[in-house]
Structure 1
Amino acid sequence: MRIVFMGYQTWGVVALRALATSGHTLPLVVTHPASDHPYEKIWADSVSALAKAHRIPVIEGRRADEPAIERAIREARADLILCSDWRTLVPERVLRLARLGGINIHDGLLPRYAGFAPINWAIANGESEVGLTAHVMTHLFDLGDIVVQRRIPVAPLDTATGVAQRVFDLLPEVTLESVARRADPDFSPVPQDPILSSFFHKRTARESRVDWSRTPKQIFDLIRAQSDPYPNAWTTHAGRRLYLKRVSYPSRAYCGTPGRLHSREPAGVVVVCGQQPGQINQGLVLEEVQPADGEPTPAHRWFRRLGEYLGDADNINYDAGEQ
C-alpha cells in the first residue's frame, strides 16, 4: 500500500519506523517544524531525520492545506494518509487525495479525551485507564469511526511519563493493524457516539498550577500527571514559583486551612489541602521541590519555617491574631 505519513515528535517517529520497516511504500512524509512550545519539546525525536534516513521525501509545514503540502500529497498518489501526532485538522479535500482517505492514531480512549495532551488530562482527572485509538479522519476533530483501539490500565501511582512509554510500546502494533484493517474491504469501523465525546484543549502553565483547596488526591494526581519531562505542577512560595517534583500521602490526618505548611514528616513537609467529603485527612507530604531558577531540593531543606502559606495566600499577612 502507498501511504503518505503525517506526524511529529516521538509519537510520529515510532509510527513511521513501523511503517518504514513493514513493506509498505512511503512516497512522502509530512511533519511540523521544530517548536519552542513546552509540550512540543518533550518526546522531541525528529520525524524529518528518520524520513531522511530511510530516503523518503519529506516536507515541513504547520497545516495540510498549505499549497506546497497539498500539492506534494496529490503528487504522491497515495492509497492512504496516516497521521500520528499531526497537530492540525486535515481538510476533507486533502483526505480525498488518498484512495482510502485518512487514519489518525490518537493517544486517548476515544470518544473521551479527544484533543490535546490526553494522557496528562486523564491522569490529572484520576482516570484508571487510558487508550490508543486509530480512527477514520473526517472534518470533525477526533470523531471519526474507530478502526483499532487498545485500553491501558493506569495504577494509582503511575505517572504520565510511565504511561506514555507504555503507549509507545503499543503504537507500532496499532499502526500496522489499522492499515491492514483499512485495506480490508470487509472491515467496518465502529462509529463513535459524539454525545460521549470530551474534547480537551492544550495544557499550559495555568493548568499545572496547584489549587490547594482541592483534595489531596486531586493534587496528587495533578503532580503525577506533570512528571518529568513534562512541565511540573507548581505553586508559589514567598513570591517565587516553586515546582513540585515528588509528593506522597502522610502517615496521619493533617487538617486545617488549605495551603498552610503544617508539620514535618520523615519524608518531607506536610501542606494542608482541601477536604474530601467523608474523609478526615487534608494533607500531602511535599518531598522534593524546585524553584524556577534553581535545582531540585528536598522539601525539608527548602521550607525553613512552618506556618507559612503556599499559593495565592503568599502576599497576605496571617500573623496578626494567630493562635
Structure 2
Amino acid sequence: MKPRAVVFAYHNVGVRCLQVLLARGVDVALVVTHEDNPAENIWFGSVASVAAEHGVPTITPADPKSAELRAAVSAARPDFIFSFYYRHMLPADLLALAARGAYNMHGSLLPKYRGRVPVNWAVLNGETETGATLHEMAAKPDAGAIVAQTPVPILPDDTAAQVFDKVTVAAEQTLWRVLPALLAGEAPHLPNDLAHGSYFGGRKPEDGRIDFTKPAREVYNLIRAVAPPYPGAFTDLDGQRFVIARARLAPPGAAPADLPPGLAVSDNALLAICGDGRAIAVHELRHQHDGIETVVTPAGFAQLIHSSRHS
C-alpha cells in the first residue's frame, strides 16, 4: 500500500519537492497552498498548477489553525505531512495527525539560519555556503531532528535569486535521496543543536535602504541579497528613488578619491561610493517615479539629479 501524504507547499521548492513525492510513488491525498498575493511579484512556479495536473485536491486556507483545515487533513488520513516552503507555522495538533511524522524542507544548513528568508540572510551576511535541510517539524521553527541536508556554494557575485535556484535543486536532491529510507522507517534523525545555530526574522522592502557610509563589501552584499526579483537595494536622492538592480564590486583604487559616499557619475560610469573609499560599479540603475520604473543611464541619472535640483 502506498504511503499517503498531505503536502503544504508553495514557491519553487514546493513545486519541485511535490514532484519528487509523486515521482517516488507517494499517494499525495491533499495539497495545501497559498492564494497568490496580487501585490507580490510572482516570479516562481505554482504548486496549485502542479497539483491540478496530477489530479490532487488543493485547498488554500488563510488560517493554519482553523478547524476546517484540521478536519480536511484528518480526513486525508496521512502517514506523513510535508511542508515545502509553506509560509505558515503548523500547529502541533495538526502535525500530530501524521501517523509516521511531519517533515519540513528548509533553505539553509540547519541549525544555521533558522527562521525566515534564509537565502537572503546568508547572502547579506557574506556566507560562502548554504543549502537545504529536511528536518522533523517541532513546536519551534526549524528546530526538529535533521534527516538530510545538501550544501551549495555561494559565489562572491551570486545574487540571492541565483542562490535560491541552487537551493531549490539541493532541496530536490535531498528529498529524492532520503525519501526511500524515510518511507521505510530507516532514515537518520540527527541532533539539530540550536545552541550552535542562528535565527533570523523576515525582511521588509525598507530593509533594502542603502547606507553608503558602510564598507563596500557590506553594501555589495545587500545589493546581491535583495536584487530583483526581490524588491532591490535602493537610495532616495533629492526626493527620487533609485534601485541598484545589478552591480559589481570594483577593485581598490577604481574610484576618484574626492567623491563622497553615495551615487556618482565618473568617466561616464555609474559608481556607488562607500564609506571605506571603495566603489561599486553600478551596471543597472532603476528610477522609480509615480509607480513607473525605468532603467537610467549615467547621463540620464545626472540629468535627473540636475533637473530635481533646479526645479
TM-score, length-normalised on structure 2? 0.89
Aligned to 1:287: 283
In the alignment, the residues of structure 1 paired with residue 131 and residue 72 of structure 2 have an alpha-carbon distance, to the nearest angstrom, of 32
SS in 1 for 2:283: strand
Cα distance, 1:230 vs structure 2: 1.3
Match of 1:259 in 2: 261
- Separation in structure 1 between the aligned mates of residue 54 and residue 186 of structure 2, nearest angstrom: 32
Distance 2:14 2:157 in 1: 27
Percent of matched pairs sharing the same residue: 29
Residue-pair matches, total = 301
Partner secondary structure for residue 228 of structure 2: coil
The whole-number CA distance in structure 2 between the counterparts of 1:146 and 1:256 is 52
- Alignment match, 1:111: 111
Structure 2 alignment gaps of length 5 or more: none
Retained in 2: the 8 A contact 1:269–1:300?
A: no
Q: Which residue of 2 aligns with 1:77?
A: 77
The one-letter code of the counterpart of 1:27 is A
Within-5 A mapping of 1:194-213: 194-213=194-213
Q: Distance in 2 between matches of 1:239 and 1:205?
A: 18
Distance 1:245 1:113, change over 3 A: same
Q: 1:135 to 1:223 in 2, by over 3 A?
A: same
- The one-letter code of the counterpart of 1:287 is H
Farther-moved stretch of structure 1 (256-265 vs 17-26): 256-265
* CA distance in 2 between partners of 1:186 and 1:288 (Å): 50
The corresponding residue for 1:160 is: 160
Note if contact 1:100-1:182 (Cα within 8 Å) is conserved in structure 2: no
Unpaired stretches in structure 1, ≥5 consecutive residues:
276-280, 309-313, 316-323
**1:137 Cα deviation from its structure 2 partner:** 0.4
Answer yes or no: is the 8 Å Cα contact 2:250–2:278 preserved in 1. Answer: no
Name 1:303's counterpart in structure 2.
Answer: 302
- String of CA shifts for 1:33-83, please: whole Å, max 9, x gaps: 222454xx3443221222121111111113332112111111111110011
How high is the TM-score relative to the length of structure 1? Answer: 0.86
Q: Is the 8 A contact 1:42 1:230 kept in 2?
A: no
Residue of structure 1 in register with 2:139 after alignment: 139
User: Equivalent of 2:11, from 9, 12, 35?
Assistant: 9
Residues of 1 paired with 2:164 and 2:67: CA distance?
Answer: 34
Q: Does 1:234 align with 2:234?
A: yes
Q: What is the identity, as a one-letter code, of the residue corresponding to 2:301?
A: W
> Corresponding residue for 2:270?
269
The one-letter amino acid of 1:59's match is I
Is the alpha carbon distance of 1:256 and 1:198 closer, same or farther for their aligned partners in structure 2, counting shifts above 3 Å? Answer: farther
Q: Aligned runs of 1:41-190 on 2, under 5 Å?
A: 41-190=41-190
Report how far residue 300 of structure 1 moved. Answer: 4.2
SS of 2:294's equivalent in the other structure is coil
Q: Distance in 1 between matches of 2:20 and 2:117?
A: 23
Structure 1 residues 49, 3: closer, same or farther in 2, change over 3 A? same
Q: Name the aligned partner's letter for residue 269 of structure 1.
A: L
Residues 135 and 146 in structure 1, CA contact (< 8 A), matched pair in contact too:
yes
Gap change, CA 1:43 and 1:81, over 3 Å in 2: farther
Displacement of 1:180 in angstroms is 2.6
Match of 1:318 in 2: none
Do the aligned partners of residues 118 and 37 (structure 1) sit closer, same or farther apart at CA in structure 2, a change above 3 Å counting?
Answer: farther
Structure 1 84/230 Cα, relative in aligned 2: closer, same or farther at 3 Å?
Answer: same
Give the secondary structure class of the aligned counterpart of 2:293: coil
